[in-house]
Each structure stands twice: as C-alpha cells, then as structure tokens.
Amino acid sequence: MTNDDTDKRAGKGANALWGGRFAGGADDVMRAINASIDVDRRLADHDIDASLAHAQMLAACGVISSEDAKAIAKGLEDIRAEIAAGAFPFSAALEDIHMNIEARLTEKIGEAGARLHTARSRNDQVATDFRLWTRTALDRLGLQIEALQRALITQAEAHADTVMPGFTHLQTAQPVTFGHHCMAYVEMLSRDAGRLSDARARLNESPLGAAALAGAPYPINRDMTAETLGFAAPMANSLDAVSARDFVMEALAGLTICAVHLSRLAEEIVLWTSPRFGFARLSDRFSTGSSIMPQKRNPDAAELIRAKVGGMAGAFQSMVLMMKALPLAYAKDMQEDKAPLFRAVDDFELCLAAMTGMIGDLDVRPEAMAAAAGEGYSTATDLADWLVRELGLPFREAHHVTGRLVAEAERRDIALHELPVEAMKAVEPRIDERALGVLSPADSVASRTSYGGAAPVRVREQIARWKEKLG
C-alpha cells in the first residue's frame, strides 16, 4: 500500500508531472484504475539503474551538465537507500514507480532532477526496466532448475540399479530403473533451461532512448546506455522498442512448459507415495498430516505444484489476449503486463524449491518397486525378443506366441517365469529353459543397452555425462 494516497506531493489539483495541460485533477476512480505502483514498485532497483545509465550518457553527450548528472546520481542512490529501508513515500497519485522516483528526485535535488527525463519517456523506461527485471529473473530460474537437476542426479546415482515398473497408459509396461526415471526429468529440465536462456538472449536488447515511440531529437548515445546496462545492443527500431512484449510472452511460455514438467513429476510423487504404490515416502519436511485422520501423510506440496501450473498457463494466456490487437506503439493496456509475470515467477520459484526439497529427501523403497516391476507380465516383451533372437521368429509371430503364453500364465494365475517349460513348449515346441533367463525384471533392464536405454550401465553413462556438464 502506498503511504499517502490522497497525496499532496502529487498535487491534489493538476498532476505535478504533466499538469501544464490540465486545469483540474483526476477523479479518485481514475487515479485508482491508473495506478500501478503497488505492482511495479518491484522494478525500483532496475528503474534506478536505468536512470543512472541514462543521466551518465546525457552528460557524456553534452545534453545535460556533468554537475547535474552527479546530483542525479547521488539523489538516485539516496532514493535506492530509502526504498531499501522502507522509508520511501510511495504514492498512488504518482501512478507508477517511474513517476514516484522522478518526483522524489526532483523533491530532493531540484532542477537537476527535472532534467533527467530529457530524451526518454516512460514508454522506453518501463520497457527497459521490465527487460532488466525479466533478465535477472531468468538467470535466477536457470540456477534453480540446475539445483533440481542435481537433486535428481543424486537420486539417480543412488538408484541406477533400483528396478521399477515403467508404465505406459499407467499400465505396467516394461521394467526400468528409478535412476533412469530420474534422468528422464534431468533431460526435460535441460530443455526447459535452454528455452529460458534462449528467451534471455533474445530479450537482451535495450529500448532506452527510443523515447515515446519515435526516438529523440538529441545527440544521445544508445550504445552507451545499452552497454552500461549489460544489453547486447540497443533495439534497432524505436517503435518496436516501446511496443514489444514478446519477451514477456516468451518467458511465460518457457516457464509454463517447465512447470508442466514439474507437474508431471509432482503427479508421479503423488502416485509413488500413495500407500497403494508404496514406491517412496516423503520426508516429514515435505508432508502434511490430516486434522482428522491420524494415519495420513499428504503430499500437499506436490499437489500444489500440480495446481499452480494453471495460474502460470493463465498468465501466459492473459499476456497473449492483452497484446493480440494492440496497434503500435504503446497503449496503457500494457501496464497490465507485470502482475502476470511477477506472480508466475514467484509461484514458479516456489515450485522449483519445493520440488528440489521433495526429491532431495525422497525415501525410495526398492523392494516395493521391485515387487511391482515383476507384476503385470512386464517382461513379456523380453520373451518375444528372445524368440526373435534365439529362434529367428519374425517379431509379429513372436508377439503372438508370447501373448498365448501370457494368457496361459494368467489362466493359472502365476507369473510368466513360473510357467513350466512344458507349458511353454505346448505353445511353441522350440522354446527351452534358456528363455527363463530373460524373464526377471533385473535381467530385462540389464538387456536394454541401446543408447539412452534403461540398462544400469547406460544410466551410469548418462549420470556421468550430466555430472561433467553441471560441474
């Protein structure tokens, strides 16, 4: 909330920053709908950084004096300290963070402050600030994704040999290992991180100096401000610079995709930790109890990760709908761009942290996984492959023979490897005892040695590759 909503500082009458054109002040409702300060105050540090770069450049180009630039720099650093100390008088009547800081600066240093807005507009200012904020956020997210990858790799290393059932359609399919399963997510997360770093590279150009939309009639140096702020270059078209928000959509799309991956893993944690599966147990740190059922250990964090994706996808959608029919250049609609990204990033960081914590603590139950891996005729394909390899049967025929053997085992209510060889021979006379050797889940997994396969040797290679990559 702002400190002084009625606000003498902004002038109860005409606005202090553009009052020249207006005789009276705005209606309270107008002020309320127009104000964004409660959201965009999060841009404060970046706004100050961009103003410092701008003032320094203006002085270097002779547009303002170096004394003024010094006074501006000092004033802005004082304001930064005021904000950090919680002593800054935020005002809704001053609309947004840009006008709040500028008005405060002029209050503090007088006329020099009023020169800061030369050769810029809030349009290039907000675009610059928001790109800087998004860039910082994407860098942070990249590191957090890496932390989750490390937690998964640690589990994968401990469980490279832990056999578990792999599913398709959530029906027992073929045995894999828990390590293999964890490494699948490491791969997914690396593509996610790649998407975010691509978005970062594309957004890293400076709008500053595009001014309102047409550029500035001063001998400014946009390369200089771009460089000071760590941008790769100034944006090449001033109209594009102030109206582009694809960087917000791209960031949201990237983090929504990653959140979908987190949600799939969250769903698996819910399944694995359910007593029906019993594949794993969540630590006390990441479980909740029930107020009425003392036996419960609920995976609330996993469920919330699953749920929060909706908000992130919604944020992406609200950006798309907001932008889709805006003519160039700036329109006030675009002020609504910040809340969705801020909230999505906040939620996403929390989801990443919670998932990293859950995975790190996850207590895997290899016996339960192994028992389940042997159920549901999970090695039927291995038998079919044996028939192909050893007897030279075409795969289709081997599939048919194996299907009959599964039906026979099912009729007797026993596992495939419990089927007497005679019963097998009754279906296919050339089968012998050697076929039994491929029917255990561990043998099945060990045989999957193709590149990227579930065999522990291959999983260990994946782990080694990733440990080297992440350093």
Which residues does the annotation mark as catalytic?
169, 290
Q: Is 206 helix (H, G, I), strand (E, B) or coil?
A: strand
Q: How far is the CB of 318 from ligand ARG (least distance, A)?
A: 15
Q: Is 165 helix (H, G, I), strand (E, B) or coil?
A: strand
Q: How far is the CB of 218 from ligand ARG (least distance, A)?
A: 19
Q: How long, in residues, is the chain?
A: 471
Q: How far is the CB of 321 from ligand ARG (least distance, A)?
A: 17
Instruction: Say if CB 76 and CB 52 are below 8 A apart.
Output: yes
For ligand ARG, which is the closer residue by CB, 211 or 445?
Answer: 211
For ligand ARG, which is the closer residue by CB, 235 or 309?
Answer: 235
Q: How far is the CB of 37 from ligand ARG (least distance, A)?
A: 9
Residue at 354: amino acid letter: A
Task: Mark residues 311-350: x for contact with ligand ARG by CB under 6 A, - for none.
Answer: -------------------x-x-xx---------------
What distance in Å separates the CA atoms of residue 442 and residue 157, rounded to the nearest whole number? 17
Instruction: Say if CB 215 and CB 209 are below 8 A apart.
Output: yes
Does residue 51 interact with ligand ARG by CB under 6 A?
A: no
For ligand ARG, which is the closer residue by CB, 15 or 440?
Answer: 15
Q: How far is the CB of 185 from ligand ARG (least distance, A)?
A: 37
Q: How far is the CB of 237 from ligand ARG (least distance, A)?
A: 18
Q: Which of residues 110-129 bind ligand ARG (CB under 6 A)?
A: 122-123, 126
Q: Give the alpha-carbon dihedral of 229, 204, 208, 108, to 10 degrees.
A: -40
Q: Which of residues 258-317 bind ligand ARG (CB under 6 A)?
A: none
Q: Is 101 helix (H, G, I), strand (E, B) or coil?
A: helix
* Total residues interacting with ligand ARG, rule: CB under 6 A: 11
Residue from 15, 17, 31, 40 binding ligand ARG (CB under 6 A): 40
For ligand ARG, which is the closer residue by CB, 41 or 70?
Answer: 41
Classify residue 243 by burial, with Cβ atoms within 10 Å: 0-12, 13-18, 19+.
buried
Instruction: Say if CB 416 and CB 379 are below 8 A apart.
Output: yes
For ligand ARG, which is the closer residue by CB, 40 or 347?
Answer: 40
Strands (DSSP E) contained in 322-385 are 363-364
What distance in Å separates the CA atoms of residue 98 and residue 52, rounded to the nearest whole number? 13
What distance in Å separates the CA atoms of residue 288 and residue 188, rounded to the nearest whole number? 28
Cis peptide leading into 184, omega within 30 of 0?
Answer: no
What distance in Å separates the CA atoms of residue 183 and residue 156, rounded to the nearest whole number? 7
Q: Give the alpha-carbon dihedral of 101, 105, 106, 110, to 10 degrees.
A: 180
Say how many CA atoms lie within 13 Å of 419 toward its Cβ.
Answer: 32
Does residue 192 interact with ligand ARG by CB under 6 A?
A: no
Residues in Cβ contact with 387 at an 8 Å cutoff, skipping those fewer than 6 apart: 393, 397, 398, 401, 402, 428, 431, 435
Does residue 106 interact with ligand ARG by CB under 6 A?
A: no
For ligand ARG, which is the closer residue by CB, 105 or 334?
Answer: 334
Q: How far is the CB of 36 from ligand ARG (least distance, A)?
A: 5
What distance in Å separates the CA atoms of residue 266 and residue 164, rounded to the nearest whole number? 18
Does residue 96 interact with ligand ARG by CB under 6 A?
A: yes
For ligand ARG, which is the closer residue by CB, 124 or 385?
Answer: 124
Q: Please report, as ranges, the residues that interact with ligand ARG according to CB under 6 A.
A: 36, 40, 96, 98, 122-123, 126, 330, 332, 334-335
